[in-house]
Amino acid sequence: MKAYPNDTGWFEKYGGTFVPETLIEPLRELRESYLACRSDSSFQNELRDLLRNYVGRETPLTFAKRLSEKLNGAKIYLKREDLTHTGAHKINNAIGQILLARRMGKTRIIAETGAGQHGVATATVAALFGLECVIYMGRVDMARQAPNVQRMGLLGAKVIPVDAGTCTLKDAVSEAMRDWVTNIKNTYYILGSALGPHPYPMMVRDFQSVIGTEARAQILQRENRLPDELVACVGGGSNAIGLFYPFLSDGQVVMTGVEAGGRSLTSGNHAARFQGGSVGVLQGTQTFILQTSEGQIENTHSISAGLDYAAVGPEHAMLRDLGRARYTSVSDVEALKAFHLLSETEGIIPALESSHALAYVMREAALKKSDFIFLVGLSGRGDKDLSSVLDYEKRHA
């Protein structure tokens, strides 16, 4: 495949820069600063050092032996982003962007968060470098991710509740962008997923591609061959594109992204953009979004706060069009079953986001031969989701 995005931020017909005029120059400055850092050996050396000695990379590739036996089919490997410092893949991108913010002379950091893991990661790196930090989070997400809200506070961040709209991730992004427009001079916006205006989808992908780079080398060492299929959950899609990107030229490797099927695939009950969305523009980028025929953004639902978003990253939309990756969805109920199954068979409590990817593997594993290899991106740990799971099961008992 040729290199994407192009110089103006397009992944074929997806991506671009759809922002107010006041953000055009800051985004140009950001793009030029990032491209300079990407080829700067001192920046890259500092990034590698922090990923190794602060984040805890490389993360293990774990063979899920008992889960594989239970499902009576394929071999299942887990790329363990749950074992990073802060407990999810979000720290990879946050470390990269805080170094960029420091190079640009910014003294104030803002971010949005849904499941709270990006907020925690941002608060963590801001504390590490002694920078002011403000996190925007929807009121609904704050209630279902209370432990992460508490963690952000302990790290010194100011968490601002967002009461607009559905009080979830989409609305938190909007508030963060309003803040950025108002405070351009001293503020850096650490966007958490492979979304938004150019250069964010490219930057986040690059910082997260450490996941796939490690996983590719690890599976070759363990099995002496590449996996048959990569599987990752897809909200905005940063952990998935981080896993997929280093495998794009390996045409024999199937890549499957799993969206949130929610309660059902009817309007307002899910967040599966490829199962009912259409091309449109949301919060800076053109991609697949859930919208009405009049172009109004539809409400979304997922038991997982990190997948509850109306748009998907533009590179995922391109990969789907090109046929290089495929996308499906699983329901809340299926994700909960996977949450329990991995916990009980492997002693690993997965995030509800990751549980969607696991649920797909549960569905497919028995249909494969015993030498078939799934490599699953375990994007984070499930501590943050325990209250959501217990509350859901109490209501549906």
Catalytic residue, from 58, 68, 75, 112: name it. Answer: 112
Is 329 among the residues known to form the active site? no
Q: Is 226 left (phi over 0), alpha (psi -120 to 50) or beta?
A: beta
Whole-number Å distance between alpha carbons of 196 and 314: 9
Q: Number of C-alpha atoms within 13 angstroms, CB side, residue 347?
A: 3
Residue type, 79: K
Catalytic residue, from 238, 304, 354, 379: name it. Answer: 379
Residue 344 has which token pair?
């009980």
Is 21 among the residues known to form the active site? no
- In the DSSP assignment, the letter for residue 310 is S
Whole-number Å distance between alpha carbons of 124 and 119: 8
Backbone angles phi, psi at 282, to 5 degrees: -145, 125
Taking alpha carbons only, the member of 62, 85, 88, 84 closest to residue 75 is: 62
What Cα–Cα distance (Å) separates residue 261 from each residue in 128, 144, 275? 37, 19, 9
Residues in the chain: 397
Catalytic residue, from 70, 75, 79, 90: name it. Answer: 90
Residue 251 has which token pair?
């045409």
Is 394 among the residues known to form the active site? no
> CA 160, 283, 84, 54: dihedral to nearest 10 degrees?
-80
H helix intervals, the chain: 21-38, 41-50, 65-71, 90-103, 117-129, 139-144, 146-154, 169-182, 200-208, 210-223, 238-244, 314-322, 332-346, 352-364, 386-395
Number of CB atoms found within 10 A of residue 134's CB: 20
Whole-number Å distance between alpha carbons of 75 and 357: 15
Residue 196 and residue 222 in contact, taking contact as beta carbons nearer than 8 Å: no
Question: Active-site positions?
Answer: 90, 112, 379
